[in-house]
Amino acid sequence: MEHLYHLSHFFEFLCGAYFGGGALLGFIESALVLKIRPPLTTKVEENEKIRAAAYDYFEVFKNKKVRDFRLLDIFPLLASSLFNLADFISTGSLSAVNSFLQTLGPKGDDKEATTLLKRYFPTFFFTGFYCLFIVLFSAIQEENENASWRIGINWFFMNFTVGAIVFQVWSLIVIPKWVNRRNYFRILSIGILFVIVTAIISAGFAFFNYRVYYSEYLLSEHHKSLCQVLVVVVSVLPLIYLLLLTVWVLIRWELISTFYNASAWLFIHRASLAARKQINEINN
Amino acid sequence: MDKMDLILINHDELKYYQELVDSKAKINSNETLANAGQYHAAIAMSKLLDETKTIARMVVGSFDGRVSNQENYLGSLRSAIEKDVKFQILFLDLPNTNSKAFKMLLTAKKAGKPIECKMANNSLIDKLSKEGKVKHFSVFDNNKYRFEKDTENYLAWFSFNDLTNASTLINVFDTEFPDSKKVVC
């Protein structure tokens, strides 16, 4: 645990980020509402238009006798398959992103609190304390050579880290769907209870010598780097989650647009050749 | 109303199709667009008529009313007539006298508007029926066209700015129209 002392500044920074999460999430939310929502609405309408056109292209293309099919006709059929695939994926994606964005922004009397803050407050709050405990306990260990204190803190911290992983997965995936004060009270009560129970168990192991050696084993010199990586990952998990969520939405969004545009291009390219050929046939 | 049209109406796609056609017309797009079903056909035809400045050459069936009785189509036809757009129309079948579009053309003709309607000769019908099914087409000015390859399902190609295809269709039309003798309006 004392190995983390030299990372104190990093964890102090994270503490600031998590406890100042309201400002951070408010900034993200404002950016989403102001910069993403209008173009999203336009893009949804553009895609609807392409969808309406694609349906007609496919109907006109497929209206052909089998003997008249040429190898190049595979392109509009391929475009149609790609389009339908993209359409299937995008219907859910677009409506999810759209309905998410529609929920953002101040509502009624609740002008100060943002929706993102409400959704991610528990995980930010919990992880902020996690980082604060790292700073405090690593400093205590650094200054205090007492073996029992050292073991107790190690125990507490290993249990706390394992619990933090469980809590974060829950708070990032499940809690955002339960946004209301009563649920927050329950969640925080469970969190505080968890910390107290962990502290008592850890103290028991440390002071009454009920040693199970995994904490000593994991916190040995040999596993120092592994533990540091684990703690750092847990401490930045909410930020990584939000980052990955954003990247995932953007990649999915771009892929869908590419699918739409590629299918539309294939349709239009083949349509102009097909129309020219059919019109020339009546003139010959 | 066929299954395809029901799907289109139920999914609010008419609105998006209309917006797509409007946006292509606005930029004078040279893309070849597709057109399926009677409601999309009426949208395409009415926009092409809206964009027409001098002349509309049309090879039609009988004006059975499934497209030509639709409000947007009639509105655009009325506007074009009021703008003194010249209409030259070849009918492949005897005109439907109950058709609102046909009645409008008759009234306009009596009012002195530049409208000519004739029955197509067999030579044109043969040209348009090479693959068994007869085709219809319309050319607007010298760059806009709609070519209906399947008249039962209203499956067509159209463009707001394709000089090559439009001139090919004008050649076909202008070869046949003067030789068609039977005047119907």
| CA of A95 vs chain B CAs: smallest distance (Å) | 15
Give B3-176's CATH code, choosing from 3.30.70.360, 3.20.20.220, 3.30.360.10, 3.30.870.10: 3.30.870.10
The reply to whether B156 touches chain A by the CB within 8 Å rule is yes
Residues B113-117: contacts with CB under 8 Å, at least 24 apart? B113/B81, B113/B84, B113/B87, B114/B84, B114/B85, B114/B86, B114/B87, B115/B81, B115/B86, B115/B87, B115/B89, B115/B185, B116/B87, B116/B88, B116/B89, B116/B183, B116/B185, B117/B87, B117/B89, B117/B90, B117/B91, B117/B183, B117/B184, B117/B185
Residue A282 has its nearest CB partner, among B13, B33, B172, at B172
What was the ipTM of the complex prediction? 0.89
Per residue in A222-254, pLDDT (tens digit) is 666 777 788 888 888 888 887 787 777 667 667
Domain ranges of chain B: 3-176
Q: Which residues of chain B have a CB within 8 Å of the CB of A87?
A: none
A→B contacts (Cβ < 8 Å), by residue, are 45, 48-53, 55-57, 59-61, 63, 65, 267-268, 271-272, 274-276, 278-283
Per residue in B100-118, pLDDT (tens digit) is 999 999 999 999 999 999 9
The reply to whether B28 touches chain A by the CB within 8 Å rule is no
Segment A112-139 shows an average pLDDT of: 80
Per residue in A39-89, pLDDT (tens digit) is 777 777 777 787 788 788 888 877 666 666 666 667 667 767 777 776 776
In the predicted structure, residue B162 carries a pLDDT above the cut 90? yes
